[in-house]
Amino acid sequence: MSAHVTSVKTYGLVLAALLSLTVITVLAAGVKFGDGSANVIIALVIASIKGSLVALFFMHLRHDKPLYSVIFLSGVAILALFLALCFLDVDSRDNVRPSNPKPVPLAPQYPGKQHAAPK
């Protein structure tokens, strides 16, 4: 097995990219992109890019066997498919509203006072 050496400059550039993407994530969280699912999709895309950078450079997936990259990309594809199916299901549900909107008291309002039994 041959050793690979990644330069400090490469690690610095990856660090700068990760920090930049973190700033973009924080800034994007304050912006409303249409409906609520658009914000989630944007956040997931940015997180996927950051995760890929970590896997490629810090976990050295870039220098390993191609089979490991196929396994990693298969996992990412299955996760994307799962999340896409979840987003499709959310819009097909109706909002459920309670039939009795009054709150039910869990305890008597005056705990020290005993209530008489109904006659």
For residue 30, give Cα distances in angstroms to 20, 21, 26, 37, 47.
Answer: 16, 15, 7, 14, 16
Domain that holds residue 12: 8-90
As a whole number of angstroms, the distance between CA 74 and CA 76 comes to 5
Please check the confidence at residue 13 and state whether its pLDDT lies above 90: yes
In a domain, 100, yes or no: no
pTM score, whole prediction: 0.62
In a domain, 95, yes or no: no
Q: How many domains does the chain have?
A: 1
Q: Rounded to 5 degrees, what angle do the CA atoms 60, 65, 66 make?
A: 105
Task: Judge contact between 33 and 39, C-beta under 8 A.
Answer: yes
pLDDT digits (tens, 9 = 90+) for 23-68: 999 998 888 888 777 888 888 889 989 998 998 888 888 888 889 8
